Amino acid sequence: MSFEKLRLKNIEETKQKIRASIKKDILLIQATHSLEELTKSLNQLTEALRKHYELYLPEISKTIQDPQIFIKLISKSKNQLIKEYDIKDTLGIELKEKDLEILKDYINEITTLYRLEDNLTNYIENLTKEIAPNLSKEAQPLLASKLLALAGSLKNLAFMPSSKLQLLGAEKALFRHLKNKKKYKSPKYGIIYNHQLIQTSKEKGKAARHLASKLTIATRKDYFKR
């Protein structure tokens, strides 16, 4: 076969293979990455909004820590808030119509972003339950999706030894330990530290080991069942 024919055939075949390679777990992993980025940038945006709003009415921002409640509150007008919280003498200044407008726009955009975050979280939870029912039962769905994202795919996670799953997310500490065993101790847990079983138990290393072995079994059940 001539090169030209071979080339066209290879291009066609590769395209089909790429299309076939996108499965549900890849979709889930991408959504997880999006959620991570969204949460990170939402925190930064809220922080900037707080600083901006403190010029106008600093007392609210000082008393209310939770970002979602804070956003909801400040969409109300200034007079209303002063009455509600009984603020006598604010340190903030009065803003002109023009300055207020852009602040309101900012607040609206962040509110929609928080809604998007909620929707995305719901979507990820449902999708994880569908793809890996046993794993998401054993760990919470969000933790399960993070584990999948770190492993790369459900197959990778299923073929992983449980000791590796235990340390997923602690690669930096692990390699620091491998390079200099005397100076640095081996890490006991990676991202599974967020599981409530480990949070509540006193012997955290032991709990992490147990949990990792259970999660491995659950993942393998999910992968080989279909």
Partner 1 sequence: MKKIMYNVFLNKNLLLTKNLTQKQSFFKDDIFNETFRLWDPKRSKFASAILKKVELPLKRDSNVLYLGASHGYTCSFLSDILTKGCIFCLDFAPHVVRDLVYLCEKRKNMSPLLEDANHPENYKNKISKVNLIFQDIAQRNQVQIFLKNIKTFLNKDDYAILVVKARSIDVTKNPKIIFNDVEIELRKHLKLIDRASLFPYERDHFIFVCQVK
Chain residues binding partner 1 by CB under 8 A are 1, 3-4, 6-7, 9-11, 13-15, 17-18, 21-22, 175, 178-179
In the bound state with partner 1, the residue whose beta carbon lies nearer, of 9 and 115, is 9
In the complex, the smallest distance separating the C-beta of residue 34 from partner 1, rounded to whole angstroms, is: 15
In the bound state with partner 1, the residue whose beta carbon lies nearer, of 3 and 224, is 3
Find out whether 144 and 132 touch, Cβ atoms under 8 Å. Answer: yes
In the complex, the smallest distance separating the C-beta of residue 17 from partner 1, rounded to whole angstroms, is: 5
In the complex, the smallest distance separating the C-beta of residue 21 from partner 1, rounded to whole angstroms, is: 4
In the bound state with partner 1, the residue whose beta carbon lies nearer, of 16 and 122, is 16
In the bound state with partner 1, the residue whose beta carbon lies nearer, of 23 and 137, is 23
In the complex, the smallest distance separating the C-beta of residue 2 from partner 1, rounded to whole angstroms, is: 8
Find out whether 223 and 151 touch, Cβ atoms under 8 Å. Answer: no
In the complex, the smallest distance separating the C-beta of residue 180 from partner 1, rounded to whole angstroms, is: 9
In the complex, the smallest distance separating the C-beta of residue 176 from partner 1, rounded to whole angstroms, is: 11
In the bound state with partner 1, the residue whose beta carbon lies nearer, of 73 and 160, is 160
If you write DSSP's letter for every residue of the chain in order, what string do you get?
--HHHHHHHHHHHHHHHHHHH--HHHHHHHHHHHHHHHHHHHHHHHHHHHHHHHTT-HHHHHH---HHHHHHHHTS-HHHHHHHHT--S-SSPP--HHHHHHHHHHHHHHHHHHHHHHHHHHHHHHHHHHH-HHHHHHS-HHHHHHHHHHHSSHHHHHTS-HHHHHTTT-HHHHHHHHH-TTTSPPPS-SGGGGSHHHHH-S-HHHHHHHHHHHHHHHHHHHHHH-
